[in-house]
Chains A and B, each alone.
Chain A
Amino acid sequence: MYSFNELRRAAKTAAPGKARTLAILGNCSTQFLAMAVRGLAALEKLPLTVFDAGYNQIEAQVLEDGSELYACAPDSVLLYLATEKLYEEFLDMAPASRGGFADGVLARLEMYWDALGRHANAAILQCTFTEIPDRALGNFSCRVESAFVYQLRRLNYLLQERMAARGDVYPVDLMAVQAELGRERFFDPALYYSAKMAIGTEALPYAAKAILDVEAALSGRVKKCLILDLDNTLWGGVVGDDGPENIEIGELGRGHVFTNFQRWLKELKECGVILAVCSKNDEAAAKRPFESNPEMVLRLEDIAVFVANWEDKAGNIRLIQRTLNIGMDAMVFVDDNPFERELVRSMIPEIEVPELPEDPALYLDFLQRQNYFETAAFTGPGADRTRLYQAELAREKLKAAYASLDEYLESLEMVGTARPFEPAVYSRVAQLTQRSNQFNLRTVRYTEADIRRLAEDPDCLTVYYELRDKFGDHGLVGVVVGRRSGADTLFIDTWLMSCRVLKRGMEEFIIAALMDRAKKAGYRWVVGEYIPTPKNAMVKDIYKTVGFEEAGENRYRADTESFRPGKFHIKESEE
């Protein structure tokens, strides 16, 4: 981790590119925090402008319509209430009313959130509360409702509950940062009393990282896939030499280390991270522990792509990337061998290759600290997409058996649905706008609250698309947001699609369904726009491909009266 002084120097520069604006609001001084965030953003090449409201300006900025906060049109607003200030308020309260402290602070937060929701179109980043073990009643404080420790823990708990219920607030878990560093490193009394800053310089880089991790996820910079080596990474020993029954795995000795590592990997998979294997091994030997060793937590069905051969790993990682069709910068490669790590790093600079500690006992803790898999949405059970990728491999095999693409597509028996946004999909739609980079025409990022507003806006025409075929359900794979632009024109504000369903005729299906709905809603013209980014060149000409005519630079339009959709092999479901 960088030191605060390194961040301070870097804060004078900024990463190039279209910057998001983050506003920092605190109940204490936030200059150093803002400086640390600016510096870390510059070093991590995240284009970011930071607005620092200054000492204790939350209410003035949040509640007033024409405040500087709203004038800077932030993309996100960080609310940071230092526990040190809250503790002073707590001690100034009459002892009889302290039992209501947590509820009172939460009510205040909700007032801020609601005001922000009314005045700004920004994601709300809410810091959790660091603990001060004031020990007024010693350990016994934990069971006395009017004690500070009791109220603070209740506050963090209530905060979690409210954030889960609302959906428009993103946590920045400062409590976890303090738990990791320890309070002595997190809080510097001299800095607090001289400048009213409650995060010490030693902890500021870690606090800044927590904030920027959330920012990065909100701006679509997320890791989606973890590629794993096998021997001495996923288990102890070398399966080719030791045999599948003799590798170190299980609850005993060093095996416990690898078992717990696999437990965590399985949890990542359940949360939607794609697991892949890249190993220098004979394929049959490499698969054997997954098939026959009962101590293995991970099974073959947990691995989306399994590559074991004697080719170089950089080439194999490229193969995995092509199969999954995700960006190289969305992948993490974990290998115990420094030679392989260095080779992959030098051949593929975009991929993340952690410098794993030498002792396998430290792998898990080390990787957890890196926080690679920050996300801005969670879709619950069903987040696991491994099966989708495995079905995709089965399709690829089938494709090879057909002479023409049309015959193959017909054989897939595809059924598509097109429906307006509805509450059950708000979270998934928001997640797609945040994570799609390649097939995304204008790369507009939306939060769940934005999606709800769009769905309820009579001047918006929203459609989400699902696709299934005989191999399985692709789920929600396409999103279109149209906005009224003048009396008879619908402007396509957002069109994105999952790259998993490329070249299936889904593009044509999406446009056909959109044109149909636009026409029924009384629109004569539908206008599309392509905004280039470093990642979306693949859709540069998509509007022309699906039958729109050019109408200026990167602009296209189609007439709902005369539009004839292209050919596709997807039946629209009537449900």
Chain B
Amino acid sequence: MDREEIMARINEIARDVFDNDTVVLTDDTTAADVDEWDSLTHLLFTNEIEDAFGVTFTLAEVTKSENVGQLVDALTRHLGA
């Protein structure tokens, strides 16, 4: 799975979790850019990504990723891609 496919899947998850069909995530997107992205939905978001890709993030990856790009980096590391 390349980064583009991962990004597409993550966008699907984001639209579901944030309950907003207009959300478009790029590497530079941060929580501040999405109204529905708060501390609680952040956890739902990372949890759903874990389930969808069959990985487990470390605590630091969950709490310290500053933008979507860093989260995708962490994900690709876990996927061994």
Contacts and interface: CB of A to CB of B under 8 A. Distances in A.
B22 interface: no
Contacts of B58: 190
Nearest to A202: B51
B47 A201 contact: yes
B43 A195 contact: yes
B57 A190 contact: yes
B6 to A, nearest CB: 18
Contacts of B56: 190
Chain A contact residues: helix, strand, loop or mixed: helix
B47 A9 contact: no
Contacts of A4: 47
Contact of B59 (A5, A8, A9, A190): A190
Interface string A285-311: 000000000000000000000000000
Contacts of A191: 43, 47
B62 A190 contact: yes
A349 interface: no
Contacts of B59: 189-190, 193-194
B48 A194 contact: no
Nearest to A191: B43
Contacts of B19: 12
Contacts of B47: 4-5, 191, 201
A3 interface: yes
Given A31-B40, A190-B57, A190-B58, A3 B51 contact: yes
Interface of A: 3-5, 8-9, 12, 31-32, 189-191, 193-195, 201
28 contacts: A3-B51, A4-B47, A5-B47, A5-B48, A5-B51, A8-B44, A9-B16, A12-B19, A31-B40, A32-B43, A189-B59, A190-B56, A190-B57, A190-B58, A190-B59, A190-B62, A191-B43, A191-B47, A193-B59, A194-B43, A194-B59, A194-B62, A194-B63, A195-B39, A195-B40, A195-B43, A201-B47, A201-B51
Report the 6 A-B pairs with minimum CB-CB distance, sorted nearest first.
Answer: A190-B59, A194-B62, A194-B63, A201-B47, A193-B59, A195-B43
Interface of B: 16, 19, 39-40, 43-44, 47-48, 51, 56-59, 62-63
Given A191-B47, A193-B59, 8 more contacts: A3-B51, A31-B40, A189-B59, A190-B57, A190-B58, A194-B63, A195-B43, A201-B51
